[in-house]
Structure 1
Amino acid sequence: MRPFSHRLQYPGALLALGTLFILIPLISRVALDWTHPYGLLSDLAIGCLLVALLHQRSWLLSVPVILAWCVFILGTAELVSAVGRMPELADLHYLTDAQFVSHSTQGSGLSQPLLALALGLAIVVYLVVRWRQSGGARQRFSPIWLVPGIALLIGHAALQYRNPSEADQWLQFNLTHKLLAESLSSAQLRVEDWVSSDLPSSPADISDLTQLDLNGTPLLKQAGAARNVLIITLEGIPGAYLDASRKAIGSSYQQNPMPRLSEWAERGMLTPDYVLHSHQTIRGLYAMLCGDYSKLDSGTPKGVELLNNPTRSEQCLPAQLRENGFSTHYLQGAGLRFMAKDQIMPRMGFDKTLGRSWFKNKPYLEFPWGMDDKAYFEGALGYVKQLRKGKQPWMLTLLTVGTHQPYSAPPDYLERFPTAKQAAIAYLDDAVADFLQGLERQGVLKDTLVMVTSDESHGIEKVRLASAWGFNLILAPEQKQLPSLKTGTYGHVDLAASVLDYFDLPMPADIAGRSLLRDYSSGRPIMSYTNGLLRQHDGQGTFIECDFRKVCRRYASAGFIADSARYLGRESGRPARLISQRAALLDQSLQTGEVSLRYQFANRTPIQLNSTAGDDWADNLVGAQYLELPKGTQTTVTLKIRAVRMDKHGARLQLKTKEYDRDVVVQIPDLPLLTADRPVEVSFVFDNLDTRKAFSFHLLGQGQGSIEITDFSVISEHREDQLIAAKRDKDEVGLQAQ
C-alpha cells in the first residue's frame, strides 16, 4: 500500500477547495453572528462532502458546482439580511437573475460585499491552482472519502432529533443541506403514504378556523362613538419593534427601533400576541380586509382569485362599510398595477383606489418602489383633511412602502444607523408618529377609529417567530374604556370582524375570526405560514411547527407568539399530516368549483409610457403576477392594446413570462409596433405539463405617449387529449436529440 503522503495528490487544489467549501462558510457564519452549533456542523458536513466529491474531478463537474455553491452562500446572506428568511427552492430561480438582483439592491448594493469578494478570490485561486497542476494522472475516487461528511450529517440529524432547536433555519442549516434534507423528507413521506395508503383516515376539519366567534364579552357597552375608520398599514414591520409588545411576551429582543410609535402604543390598545398569516403584501391586505386566511402556500393569492368571485368580494370590509353608508378609499405609496391592486382593491369595495401617481407633493427621496414615508404621510394627511370636509362617514386604508427592500433613508438617518434597513425603520417611525400627531391636531382621533398594523413582517434575526409576529394598535374615541394591552391570540383574520363589531354592523355570512373589542374566556386555534414554516396553535396550550422537511414538533405555549416554548416531542404520521391538510382546505376558500381558471387584468386606464426601455418590475404595465397554472391545463392569453395618445414613431411593446421571478420560455409571438391607427391584438396558447407556480406576465412598453390595455385575459382549461399529444411530441423530440 502506498504511503498516505504519496496518495494525496494536488494538495494546492485540495486546499483551495477546503477554503471555498469549509473555511469561508465557517468564517462568514461567525462574522454574521450565525454561530449556532448546528449551523457550524452543517457547514462542516456539506463542506467535507463537496471537497471529497470534487477533488481531482473534471472541470465540467467542478466549475458549475462551485458557481452554484457561491450563489447559495451569497444568496442566503443577502436574503436573510434583507427580509429575515432563508431562501426556499423557488427563490433559487431569481438569485441568479441579474436584473432582479440589481433591482432589489438598487441604492445600497450587496449587503455582504466582503463575502462576495472572498468567494470570488477563492474561485480564482482554485482555477489558477488547477490549471498549474493539470496534466497529471487523476486519482481514482474512493467512497471512503465520503465517510467523514456522511458521519457529520448523521450526527446533525441525530442531534436535531434528540434536542431540536427553535433557532431560525439559517442558523441550523446551510442552503445545500436544507435542500438535501427537504428532498429526503419528501421521499420518506411518499414511502409512508404508499405503505399506509389502505389505512382509513378521518378528513381534516377547519370549522374552528373559519367560524365567526362573537361570544366574547364586549369591551364597549354600546356601538363605538367614531364615525370614520382609518387603517394604517406599515410595510413589513414586526410586532417586536414596539416596546409594550416586547415586554408583554418577555421578549429577549433588546433593541428599540421605533421609540415614537412605541410611545403612541402606550396611549392606545395594543395586541401583542398578533399573528401574521403569510408573507407578501397582497396576502396580508386580503386577510385583514376580507376576514379570511390568506393562502398558506405559494399558490395564486386569494386577492387575485377574488376577481373571479364577486359574491365573496361583497363580504370584504370595504364593501360592507360602503353598503352601510361609508365612502371607502385606498391610498398606497407605490404604483397600483403590480399584483393587480388597481383591480383587486376596487373589487374589495373601495370607491377610490389611488397609488403613486396621485401624489403631487415632492418626495424627499428617489425610491424605486414609490413615495418615501415622510412625503407619503404628508400627502395622506392632506387626503384625510379633504375627507373631513364631506358629510359622509369614510373608511381610509393606507399602505406605506419605504421599509421594503431596497431600504432607503435620508443621509442624516444613514449616518446615525449602521445599516440602511435600520435607518429606513427609524425614518418610518418619525413619519408615522408625525402623521398621528397631525391627526390629533385635526381632531381626527375624536371621531375616528384608527388601527395601526403591518401587512407582513420582514423578520428579525434570532427572534423566535418574528416572521409571523405582527401587532394591532387601536386608537378610539372611547379609549378610557379599553385596556392598554389586549390579552388573547388574534391575527389579521380578525381585523374585519373587529371593525364591524365596533360599529355594531351586520356580519356577512363567510367572514371568520374574533373581535378585538371582546374578551374571550377560552383560547382559539390559529395558523400561519411564514419563513417556510407552517404553524398552528390549538388554543389549548399546544403549538405545532412543521418545517421544510415536513417534520412537525409540538411545544407547550400559552399563546402563539412567545419568546420560548417547552418542547414536547415530534408530531408524526396522520396527526402531523392533518395540519397540512387543514392548511390546504383553508387555501381553497375562494374556489368556485369551476374546472377552468379565468382572469381578466385589463382595466382600460390610460398608461403613460417611458421613452426608454423599462425595468421588468417597476415598469410592468399589467398586474398578472404570481399565478398558479395547474398541471394538465392549457393556457390561452389574449392581449389587446390601443394607443390613446401616440407620436408618429409609435410604441414598442414586449411581453415576458417569469416563474418565481425568473424568465421562462413560453412561445409568445413578437408584438407588432403600436401606432395611433394600428392597435395590437395577439393571442397565444401554451401547455402546462407540470404545475406552474408564481407564474407572472411582464408587459413593457417604450415610446412617447400613452396606451390603454383593453383586454388581457388568461384562461387555463383542462385539455387532456391535447396535453397527452404535446407530451408525446416533447418526448419524441428529446429521443431524437439523444
Structure 2
Amino acid sequence: MKNLFGHPHARLVALATLVLLIPLVARALLGWSNPFGYLSDLALGSLLLVLLHRARWWLALPVLLAGAALWLASAELVSAVGRLPTSADLGYLFDPQFMENSTGGGLAHPWLPGLMACGLVAWLLSVWHGRANKPAPLPRKVLALPAALFALHWGAQQWLPSEAEQWRQYNLQHQLLSAGLNTLQHTAMDWAGQTRPVSPLPSAGLTQSDLHGQKLLGAPGSARNLLVITLEGIPGAYLSPNRQALHSRFDESLMPNLSRWAERGMNTPDYVLHTHQTIRGLYAMLCGDYDKLANGTPKGMELLTQQQRNQACLPAQLRQAGFTTHYLQGAGLRFMAKDRIMPHIGFDAVHGLEWFSNENYLEFPWGKDDRAFFEGALDYVGQLRQQGQPWMLTLLTVGTHQPYSAPAEYLERYDTAKQAAVAYLDDAVGAFLDNLERQGVLQDTLVVVTSDESHGIDGVRLASSWGFNLTLAPEQAQLPRIKQGTYGHVDLATSLLDYFALPIPVALAGRSLYREYDSGREMVSFTNGMLRYHNGQGVLAECDFQQRCRRYESKGFIADQAKYLGTGDSTLGPQVAALAGVLDQSLLQTPLNLRYQFGGPSAIQLQARIRDDWADNLIGAQYLEMPQGSHTRVRVKVRALDPRQAAYIQLKAKEMEQDVPLGLPEEVRVTADKPLEMEFGFDNPTVRKAFSFHLLGYGGGEVEVSDFSVITALPGEEEPTEEMADGHIAQSS
C-alpha cells in the first residue's frame, strides 16, 4: 500500500481519478448521459487538475470537498424535484438540518457520497505518502486543455443546442460559472454603452384580464361554496385524461383515484405552472399575477407592503361578496410568512399544523401526512357546512414534499419513495373526494383540484411547468370533459370570480376557464432554469440562463413533442428577459424604501431545543432582496409570556442560504419582565438576493414577537414607519 501511494505519480493519478473519472462514472450511473455533460465534466475536472495538482493540501481539500458536496446536492435535488440547483438553493443543500428533513435521514443515491469519499481518501493518502517530494509540473499542453474544452462546450452549445435538461448538459459548477460570466458580460456591455436597444415584446395579454370568450354556463354558477385543493408538487402528467389529451408517452399510472375523479370533471391538459416554490404558486393562483420569473423576493412577501393590490386577490374578493374565507395547510405557517400573507390577501381564518388534533399515520418531518391531513380537512369542511354563510376553503398538502414519506406497504409496492408518496396521496385525496360526495358537499360546492408547483418527471418534456386543473361543479353536465386552450395559475382567480359572476378587479390578469376562446394567448413560465414564452400564435421560445433561445412550433404551451424551428436571433433572449422583468415589477416600481413587519401579537410555542433553522423559525422573513447602495434597518422585540420560564433567543441571517455575520449576540435570555429589544442596521454595497432572517428560540413556554421590522431604503431617506390597522407596515416608495 505504501509503495502504491508513494509512487511519484500517485498524487496526480489520485487527483485525476477524483476530479475526472469519478464525475464521469457518477454521471453514467445517475442516468445523466449526454455528450455535453461529459464534456462539461472533463472541462471542469481538467481545470481542477491544473489548479490543484501542485497546490498545498490544505488549500486543495476545501475545494475538493465543496465539489463533492455540489455533486451530491445536484443528485439529490434532481431526484427530488427534477431540476438542477440554483444559487438560491445552495444554502438549503449545504444546510445539514434542512437536508436531514428533506431526505428523511437518507439519501436518494447513498452510493454517491461513498464513491466521493473513497476518491478523497485515496488522494489524501497519496498526498501524505508523497509529502517529501513536490509534484512535477504538468506539460504546457495540459495547461491549455481546460480552456480548449470549455471553448468546445460553448461553441457546440451555440451551433448544436440540446433539448436535454440542464443537469445533463452541465455540472453545477460549470453552470454557475457560465451564468456568472454571462451576467458579467452583460454588465460590462451596459457600462460600455454597447447594449443595443431591444424592442419589447407586448405584455398586455399577460397583465390584463380577458373575458371576451363565450361562456360555458348560461347563468352564474350554481355552487354556493368554493373548495380549492392544492396538492404539493404534482405534475399534470399524473392524471390520465391529461396524458391522453396531449398524447403523452409517459404511461405510469401513479394516481388512479384522482384520474377516476378527473374522468368525471373538467380537465385542462395544457395548464402551466409559472415558477417553482409553494408561496409563488399560491400567489399566482390566488392573486391573478405572475410571481417573479427569476430568483427574487416572492411577490406574496412584497404584497405585505401593499394595502390595495391585496384587496384584488381572490379571498378578499369573495369575502367582500359575503363568503367566509379559510386557509388550511398541513405544515407550520411561519415559513415564507404565510401566517401574514394569507390574512393579508383576505383569508378570515388561517390554520396550519397547530389546528390538527388527529394523530399522524406515519412520521413526517414537515407536518401532517396526507391521510391524516385529509381526515382533518374533512372535519373542517363539516364545521363550515354548519354555518349559514357561503364559504371558501383552500387546502395545501405537504406529504409529497421530499423526503416523500409513505407507509411500508406503499414503499414495498413502488420502486422509489417518491412514487410511493404520490400513491399514498392519491389514496388520501381519492377517499376525501369520495367522502365529500357521500356527504352531499359536491351538490353545492365548486371543487378545484390543482398543484402549487411540479416536482418534474425525468424524461418528460416541460414536466417542470406542467400543472393541472380539475373542476368538479354542480352543473358538470354543461362543462366539457377536456377544456381546450392554454391556461395557467395566473387564470385561476379570474376564472373563479367569473364562475360566481362577480366583478373582476382591474389588477387581475388571465382568462376564464369557464369560457371558450377562439384565439391563442400568450403564456410565460420560469422553471428548471429555463424562461419560456409562448406568443399565442404557435411558437414557443425557450431561453436558458445565457439568454440563448430555441424556438419550437407548438400550438399550445405543454406538448409531448414540438417541431424545432432553430435558434432565435440575438435579440430574442433579451426580449424575453425584458418581458419577464416587466412582469416581475408588477407590484413595486422600485425595490427601495421597503418596510416589512413580520412580528405580531400571537403567542408562539417554543420547543425544548432548536432542531432546524428552517422549520423552527419564529418569523417569515425569507428571500428578501436589498438593492445596491441601500441601507437595511432591523428592529426586534421579543418577550416571554410565561413569568415562570425563560426563553433563549437566537437571530441568524443568511444570504443565498449562506450565513452572514451581523455581529449580534449568539444567544439572549428573555423573560417576561426582561424582553429582548434590539435595533441594528447594515449597508448593502452590492445587491443582496435571497436574504433571510432566522429568529430561533428554545426553552419551553410561549413567546410573543411583537416587532420584527425590516426597513430598506437609501441612506438618509429612512422615514418613520406607519403602523397600519391590520398590523402590517405598508410603506413603499
So what's the TM-score if we normalise by structure 1?
0.93
Is 496-505 or 605-614 further displaced after alignment? Answer: 605-614
Provide Cα deviations, 1:37-61, integer angstroms capped at 9, x if missing partner: 3222322333333334433443244
Question: Where does residue 716 of structure 1 map in the other structure?
Answer: 712
**672-681 vs 165-174, greater mean Cα deviation:** 672-681
Question: Corresponding residue for 2:657?
Answer: 661
Distance (whole Å) between structure 1 residues aligned to residue 299 and residue 240 of structure 2: 33
CA deviations over 1:20-53 (Å, ceiling 9, x no partner): 1222222222211112232223223333333344
Matches of 1:137 and 1:699, distance apart in 2: 49
In the alignment, structure 1 residue 705 sits paired with structure 2 residue 701: yes
Is the 8 Å Cα contact of residues 614 and 702 (structure 1) preserved in structure 2? no
User: Counterpart of 1:46?
Assistant: 44
Aligned: 1:442 with 2:461: no
Check the 8 A contact 1:167/1:464 in 2, yes or no.
no
Aligned equivalents of 2:210, 2:529: Cα separation in 1:
29
Quote how far apart the aligned CAs of 1:629 are: 1.5
Q: Which residue of 2 aligns with 1:125?
A: 122
Q: Residue 171 of structure 2 corresponds to which residue in structure 1?
A: 174
Distance of 1:543 and 1:597 partners within structure 2 = 36
Contact 1:602/1:710 (8 A) holds in 2: yes
Distance 1:91 1:339, change over 3 A: closer
The equivalent position to 2:8 in structure 1, one of 2, 7, 10, is 10
- Partner residue of 1:680? 676
The separation in 1 between residues aligned to 2:98 and 2:221, in whole angstroms, is 47
Question: Is 1:536 matched up with 2:533?
Answer: yes
Distance 1:157 1:198 in 2: 21
After superposing the two structures, state which structure 1 stretch, 202-211 or 346-355, moved more: 202-211
Look up the match of 1:266. 263
Counterpart residue number, 2:390: 393
Choose from 600, 604, 610 the match for 1:603. 600
| Corresponding position: 1:88 with 2:119 | no
Mapped partners of 1:604, 1:353: distance in 2: 15
1:252 to 249, 253, 258: 249
1:477 alignment partner in structure 2: 474
**2: CA distance, partners of 1:585 / 1:566:** 29
Report if the CA contact (8 A) 1:614-1:701 is conserved.
no
The match for 2:57 among 52, 56, 59 is 59
Query: 1:45 is matched by which residue type in structure 2?
Result: A
Are 1:650 and 2:646 an aligned pair?
A: yes
Of the candidates 69, 72, 75, which is equivalent to residue 74 of structure 1? Answer: 72
Cα gap change, 1:337/1:200 in structure 2, threshold over 3 Å: closer, same or farther? Answer: closer
Question: One-letter code of the match for 1:38?
Answer: F
Q: Is residue 549–residue 567 contact of structure 2 (8 Å, CA) maintained in 1?
A: yes
Does the 8 A contact of 1:632 with 1:720 survive in 2? Answer: no
Residue 686 (structure 2) pairs with residue 693 (structure 1): no
- Per-residue deviation, 1:567: 2.1
**Alpha carbons of structure 1 residues 200 and 38: separation in structure 2 relative to 1, 3 Å:** closer
Mapped to 2, the partners of 1:236 and 1:444 lie a distance apart of: 26
Kept after mapping to 1: 8 A contact 2:266/2:480: yes
Give 1:161's aligned residue. Answer: 158
Calculate percent identity across the aligned residue pairs. Answer: 58
> Helix, strand or coil for the counterpart of 1:673?
strand
Stretch deviating more after TM superposition (207-216 or 589-598): 589-598
Contact 1:108 1:420 in 2 (8 A): no
The one-letter code matched in structure 1 to 2:98 is F
> Displacement of 1:14 after TM fit?
2.5
Q: Is the 8 A contact 2:413 2:420 kept in 1?
A: yes
> 1:176 is aligned with what amino acid?
Q
Deviation for aligned residue 1:679: 2.1
Q: What SS does structure 1 have at the residue aligned with 2:571?
A: helix
- Give the distance between the partners of 1:289 and 1:557, measured in 2 at CA: 28
The offset of 1:671, in angstroms, is 5.8
Pair 1:22-2:1 in alignment: no
* 2:493 paired residue among 493, 496, 506: 496
Q: Partner residue of 2:366?
A: 369
Query: SS at the partner of 1:607?
Result: strand
1-structure distance, mates of 2:44, 2:194: 35
- 1:349-393 per-position Cα deviation (integer Å, ceiling 9, x unaligned): 111111111111111122121111000000101111111122211
1:136 maps to what in 2?
133
What SS does the corresponding residue of 2:559 show, helix, strand or coil? coil
CA–CA separation in structure 1 for the residues paired with 2:32 and 2:61: 28
Query: 2: CA distance between counterparts of 1:150 and 1:643?
Result: 59
Which residue matches 2:570?
573
In 1, are the aligned partners of 2:650 and 2:668 still within 8 Å (CA)?
A: no
Work out whether residues 292 and 511 of structure 1, in 8 Å CA contact, stay in contact via their aligned partners in 2. Answer: yes
Q: Which residue of 2 aligns with 1:314?
A: 311
CA distance in 2, matches of 1:609, 1:304: 24
How far apart are the structure 2 equivalents of 1:184 and 1:642?
47
- Supply the AA of the counterpart residue of 2:228: I
**How far is the alpha carbon of 1:669 from its aligned partner?**
4.4
Greater mean deviation of Cα atoms: 46-55 or 363-372: 46-55
Counterpart residue number, 2:100: 102
Whether contact under 8 Å (1:166, 1:464) holds in the other structure is no
CA distance in 1, matches of 2:678, 2:178: 45
8 Å CA contact retained: 2:8, 2:130: yes
Amino acid at match of 2:683: D
Q: Per-residue deviation at 1:193?
A: 4.2
Q: CA deviation at 1:619?
A: 1.2
Could you tell me how far 1:700 is from its partner in structure 2? 1.2
- When residues 378 and 193 of structure 1 are mapped into structure 2, their CA distance, relative to the original with a 3 A threshold, is same
Partner letter of residue 40 of structure 1? Y
With normalisation by structure 2, the TM-score equals 0.93
Cα distance in 2 for residues equivalent to 1:522 and 1:169: 33
User: Cα deviations across residues 158-196 of structure 1 (Å, max 9, x unaligned)?
Assistant: 332333221111111111221232234334434554566
Per-residue Cα deviation, 1:377-428 (whole angstroms, up to 9, x for no partner): 0010111111112221111100001111222111211222222211111110
Q: Partners in 2 of 1:199 and 1:16 — Cα distance?
A: 49
Question: Which whole-Å deviations, capped at 9, do the CAs of 1:590-634 have from their partners, x for residues lacking one?
Answer: 116584110011121111112223421111111111111121111
SS at match of 2:221: coil
Secondary structure in 2 matching 1:636: strand
Q: SS of the residue aligned with 2:683?
A: strand
Kept in 2, the 8 Å contact 1:634–1:716? The answer is yes
Partner Cα distance (1:115, 1:595) in 2: 44
Q: What is residue 723 of structure 2 aligned with on the other side? A: none
Q: 1:167 to 1:594 in 2, by over 3 A?
A: closer
- CA spacing shift, 1:571–1:667, aligned 2, 3 Å: farther
| Amino acid paired to 1:668 | L
- Judged with a 3 Å threshold, the aligned counterparts in structure 2 of structure 1 residues 90 and 336 are, in CA distance, closer, same or farther, namely closer
Contact 1:84 1:461 in 2 (8 A): yes
> Residue in 1 aligned with 2:522?
525
- Name the CA distance, whole Å, in 1 between partners of 2:712 and 2:618: 21
1:315 CA drift (Å)? 0.6
Counterpart in 2 of 1:421?
A: 418
Secondary structure at 2:641 match in 1 = strand
2-side partners of 1:426 and 1:457: how far apart? Answer: 16
Task: Give the aligned residue type for 1:468.
Answer: S
Alpha-carbon distance between aligned partners in 1 of 2:706 and 2:147, rounded to the nearest angstrom: 59
Is the 8 Å Cα contact of residues 633 and 720 (structure 1) preserved in structure 2? no
Q: CA RMSD in A?
A: 2.0
Unaligned runs of 5+ in 2: 1-6, 719-733
Q: Could you list the per-position Cα deviations for residues 208-264 of structure 1 after superposition, in whole angstroms to 9, with x for gaps in the alignment?
A: 210110111111111111111100000111111112212222222222221211111
Letter in structure 2 aligned against 1:714 = V
Q: In 1, Cα distance between the equivalents of 2:716 and 2:421?
A: 51
3-state SS in 2 of match to 1:225:
coil
Structure 1 segments unaligned to the other structure (5+ residues): 1-8, 723-738
Map residues 292-331 of structure 1 onto 2, 5 A cutoff.
292-331=289-328
For residue 442 of structure 1, report the CA deviation from its aligned partner: 0.8
Q: Aligned in 2, Cα 1:657/1:78: closer, same or farther, shift over 3 Å?
A: same
Question: One-letter code of the match for 2:546?
Answer: R
